[in-house]
Structure 1
Amino acid sequence: MPGLFAEVRDGGQVWRGAAGVADLATGRPVTAGLRHRVGSITKTFTAAAVLQQVESGRIGLDTPIGQYLPELVPGERGGAITVRMLINHTSGLAEYLPYAYPSLKAFPALADTGPQSLDDHRLTRFHRTELIGMGVGAPAVGTPGGTPGVYSNTNYLLLCELLEQVTGTTAERCITRNVIERAGLRDTGFPTGPDVDGPHSRLYEAWFGMIDPPRDHSVHDMSWVGPSASLISTVADLNRFYGKLLAGEIVSPSSLAQMQRTVPVVSQEGRTIDYGLGLHAMEGGPGQDVFWGHGGTVWGGGALAMIRADGRRQLAVAVNLQRWNRLDSSGRPQPHPIDGALAALYRLAMFG
């Protein structure tokens, strides 16, 4: 792991730490204040923006998406898939990524995968409706409302389209104005190009040992995930956001309760998690508190932000290497010491 940085909050106490380098070529160290691509942590921001529109009466949480976007989810599926099913990944819509990046196979069946598409599409400008079409047109991964759900970026690109239809502005502007600015986040925003603005780390992608040494992917057009997973933030801003969210300052208490109603969902790594509306729950073990938050990965980078249910204890951590695990003969990622080290950090930060 080239570099890692984190912030832990316990009531009024704040700890920030960093280790390693932000640039392998120069040896520049990482610091705790760096800006970072936070991937699918963006989904909590998107879900909050949608729930604000539910509160205003512009969106019905249990209204079929076909009533809003019949051209994108037509026919019976449009009538069966509700807005809630998109937010909690129980729509049955497939992930579009294997179709947008042909040499990348979907998790967890990685035996025939390859990294070539990553370089081929570094600066490719994807159109959101094109990506949605790939996911909607792919074989379904479940029935609408069925559990366990299957995590899919297609769901959140549709939510971005929905936000644009009901607000008359871009999804990025809607989320910025109603969520990011409401939370008072000064170092969080959507990219305006393929670069990360401000002080940041390089992002190194290993693709399960097939890219050796890992390659810098910090310059990458983020239209491959759009406003569903492209936010740039800091560990301090992430903790501030989740603190405001659980305090009822971003959405109403009733909307927060909806966000915390979980169903089983199979993650992209093949694990079953308890997923709500843009939040997932993590427990530390018998008798230990529940934490809420989200993780995220991009090409070369990752982040995790979690907050205890009472809002007092928080962790936000960022790493600048992704897919360090090598694959076994069946194409499954093998355990790696980094996994254990991160798990130990999470336990210490969250539970003491």
Structure 2
Amino acid sequence: MIDRRTTLKTGVAGLLALTAAGAGLLPSAGAELPASTEAPDAAGLQKILDDIAASAASAVLAEVHDSGRVWRGSSGVAELGSARPVTVNGRFRAGSITKSFVATVVLQLAGERRIRLDDPVERWLPGVIDAGDRITLHQLLQHTSGIVNYTNTRAFRTLYGTVDEVVGLRDRTWTPQELLDFTAGQPLLFEPGTSWMYSNTNYILLALVIQRVTGHHYAKEVDRRILRKLRLLGTELPGRRSVITGPHAHGYLPREQDGSIEPVDITTFNPSVTGASGELVSTATDLSRFYGALLTGRLLRPEQQAQLLTSRTTGRSYDYGLGLQTRLVNGIRVWGHEGDIFGYQAASWTTEDGRRQLTAAWSPWGESDPQPYLENLLATAFRTT
């Protein structure tokens, strides 16, 4: 996680890894949801949110499930300079949580025997990337391809190196091929399958594979196979549409001005620069429902479910399955994903039996690093009895 001063130094931090057109009303995001106090330590959970809002975020919301009991809470303000509260069912940019949706569609196609995970990329995207004959779909899903992360390239960071540059490109529409072009001529980081490195490029490629196999844009397949099936009415893949509809908190980037740091509102932003690696907009309730269905086998066949949950070590705070991060919290194994995009961060975690869940989203702003608070939130939500 990145505080505002770190973001000021890197500029591009909001696009590093943790990251259905048409406007309209979104029913699940339009009606206020009750904030139950039945979850364990509801007061403790709310205090953590208040602490985050006091020093590390302008807005934060969370939802906790525990064996059918649900607690929802929020803190902070929906927009700096206003007193408007953060709604517990507010929508937010979910960044790389998008990857779990993409991976689910790929695994469904494998279950339908339309693709095989050991297919080389070259079979479906001939000539699109170098070494495509040596990189498999499974390696794309698990970030073992060795393909450089396009958001880490010098060419990309030159464009998105400062807050002013990010703001100047907020309306720019990027095609998948233009994103792949950032990696042109870049050598593999390692021989495919021999190591692990997170790369947004992998999921740009997987979306193109989905399109090649089905004849439809990946967002249409996510909508048909997941969003409609689970009635995730507050979730969308906006493509190039820059406005977040429905109730939502604003997101900010820090800009230094005359020796002080001022907030720059980045809520309105064309997310096509992240594409299938991070464009999702969702709600806490929708993400909890999605991961609950995914972890309990409602979206995949048994063979693909086993593949989904076969993880490898990464050297980070989590291991990685196929489009899923996994870690231990108080000795409890949880699965899900973190997300990060300009102005917004999110995380959603679920136990393998789907009975306990935490989904949280926040707009980073403040002097403190939110990570210690979020670790505390995790520990409280998944505490052992």
* TM-score, length-scaled by structure 2: 0.80
Cα distance change on mapping 1:207 and 1:79 into 2, 3 Å = farther
For 1:142, the equivalent position in structure 2 comes to 190
For 1:154, the equivalent position in structure 2 comes to 201
> Partner of 1:351: helix, strand, or coil?
coil
Q: Please say if 1:344 is aligned against 2:376.
A: yes
For 2:263, the equivalent position in structure 1 comes to 214
Q: Please say if 1:265 is aligned against 2:319.
A: no
| Cα pair 1:72 1:133 within 8 Å, conserved | no
Residue 59 of structure 1, CA deviation: 1.2
Cα distance change on mapping 1:264 and 1:41 into 2, 3 Å = same
CA distance in 2, matches of 1:122, 1:20: 25
Cα distance change on mapping 1:281 and 1:208 into 2, 3 Å = farther
Q: Please say if 1:51 is aligned against 2:107.
A: yes
**CA deviation profile, 1:258-316 (whole Å, cap 9, x unmatched):** 011112236xxxx353101000111024xx21000001011000110000122110000
> Partner of 2:382: helix, strand, or coil?
helix
Cα distance change on mapping 1:290 and 1:207 into 2, 3 Å = farther
Contiguous gaps of at least 5 residues in structure 2: 1-56
CA distance in 2, matches of 1:263, 1:102: 33
| Cα pair 1:101 1:117 within 8 Å, conserved | no
- Counting aligned pairs with the same residue, the percent is 35
State how many pairs are aligned.
324
CA distance in 1, matches of 2:190, 2:213: 28
Cα distance change on mapping 1:157 and 1:211 into 2, 3 Å = farther
For 1:329, the equivalent position in structure 2 comes to none
| Cα pair 2:288 2:359 within 8 Å, conserved | yes
**CA deviation profile, 1:292-347 (whole Å, cap 9, x unmatched):** 0001011000110000122110000000127x67xxxxxxxxxx453221211111
2:136 is matched by which residue type in structure 1?
T
Q: Which moved more, 1:221-230 or 1:87-96?
A: 221-230
Cα distance change on mapping 1:349 and 1:191 into 2, 3 Å = same
- Aligned with residue 323 of structure 2, among 261, 270, 278: 278
> Partner of 2:235: helix, strand, or coil?
coil
| Cα pair 2:252 2:265 within 8 Å, conserved | yes
* TM-score, length-scaled by structure 1: 0.87
For 1:312, the equivalent position in structure 2 comes to 355
> Partner of 1:212: helix, strand, or coil?
strand
| Cα pair 1:115 1:211 within 8 Å, conserved | no
- Aligned with residue 140 of structure 2, among 71, 74, 86: 86
1:319 is matched by which residue type in structure 2?
W
For 1:174, the equivalent position in structure 2 comes to 221
Q: CA RMSD in A?
A: 2.0
The 5-angstrom pairing of residues 56-75 of structure 1 reads 56-74=112-130
CA distance in 1, matches of 2:350, 2:255: 30
Contiguous gaps of at least 5 residues in structure 1: 105-112, 326-335
CA distance in 1, matches of 2:141, 2:254: 30
